[in-house]
Amino acid sequence: MAKLDIYASPDILIISLDKLTTVKTTWEKKEVLLGDMGAGKTILVLRFVKGQFSEYQESTIGAAFFTQVLSLNEATVKFDIWDTTGLAPMYYRGADAAIVVYDITSMESFARAKKWVQQVQRHANPSLIMFLVANKADLGAERKVANEDGEEYAKENGLSFLETSAKTAQNVNKLFYEIAKRLAKANPSRQTGIKLHSIPQETRRSSLFCCV
Ligand SMILES: Nc1nc2c(ncn2[C@@H]2O[C@H](COP(=O)(O)OP(=O)(O)OP(=O)(O)O)[C@@H](O)[C@H]2O)c(=O)[nH]1
Ligand SMILES: [Mg+2]
């Protein structure tokens, strides 16, 4: 007789006949993008959410909101992404992850990114996962900020670091997968593991409704 397993987590209920190999949990996670004007925040998130790139992107006014779902083996993470102009602490307070973006062709944007890092570290949730992202890596000929400088600053300040290009898509998916993986690691599956075995076929349906 088929074994019936019911796994309940706070967000999702998975019911399977026979063996369940992976228990997926869904979390809604708030993520925030900060950085200097023109660093490529909006384009980076559009590359991730829609797989597209545009040379012409209007400057964001206030904040823009995007969502994207990523499925890992161990979890499904739904990202709520706030693409901000960096003005309001309300966006980064309570965030689970923050991506601070600078443009490798601009030393000023790197300097401003450092200011953002300090500000977020002062006010944000202590378990926040923060990435420093050096964007526009495709513009190597115009580079003003060495890869090592970004990497070293990130290391000294306990951040993760990646160079990306929204244009060529270099490391863009990796960035969001890395964040999703870390979130999944920090929130191990809280399955309740209610297991019902050897239930006669005709009683299964009522069991599901009675006990969950
Ligand atoms: N070559 C290249 N250009 C990029 C890249 N990412 C963004 N851009 C360009 O940089 C410009 C600014 O990008 P946005 O995404 O609007 O920058 P932003 O950080 O959202 O700027 P604000 O909304 O004004 O804060 C756009 O013209 C993009 O096409 C990249 O990886 N490579
Ligand atoms: Mg923008």
The pTM is what?
0.79
- Does ligand 1 come within 6 angstroms of the Cβ of 135? yes
Total count of residues recorded for the chain: 212
Number of structural domains (the chain) is 2
Phi, psi of 81 (to 5 degrees): -110, 125
Residue that wins the pLDDT comparison between 203 and 88? 88
Ligand 1 pocket, residue 47 CB under 6 Å: no
Which own/partner contact pairs does 88-93 have at CB distance under 8 Å and 24+ positions apart? 88/63, 89/119, 89/123, 91/32, 91/63, 92/32, 92/34, 92/120, 92/123, 92/124, 93/123, 93/124, 93/125
Higher local confidence (pLDDT), 28 or 136: 136
Q: How many Å lie between the centroid of ligand 2 and the Cα of residue 74?
A: 32
Residue 211: pLDDT above 70? no
Residues 197, 122 share a domain: no
CATH number, residue 94: 3.40.50.300
Task: Indicate whether residue 29 lines ligand 1 (CB < 6 A).
Answer: no
Q: Could you identify the atom of ligand 1 that is nearest to the CA of residue 60?
A: 23
Distance between CA atoms of 73 and 2, rounded to whole angstroms? Answer: 24
Lowest mean pLDDT among 65-74, 85-94, 128-137, 189-198: 189-198
Question: Is the distance from the beta carbon of residue 170 to the nearest atom of ligand 1 less than 6 Å?
Answer: no
Residue 157 and residue 63 in one domain: yes
34 and 12 in a common domain: no
Report which ligand 1 atom has the smallest distance to the Cα of 101.
19
Residues 11, 30, single domain; the answer is: no
- Residue 29 — very low, low, confident or very high, per pLDDT cuts 50/70/90? confident
Q: How far apart are CA 180 and CA 75, in angstroms?
A: 9
Domain range for 87: 25-186
Cα distance between residue 208 and residue 95, in whole Å:
36
Same domain, 130 and 145: yes
Q: Which residue's alpha carbon is nearest to atom 14 within ligand 1? A: 40
Instruction: Say if residue 94 is in the same domain as residue 181.
Output: yes
Highest-scoring range by mean pLDDT, 64-73, 139-148, 170-179: 139-148
CA of 41 to the centre of ligand 1 (A): 6
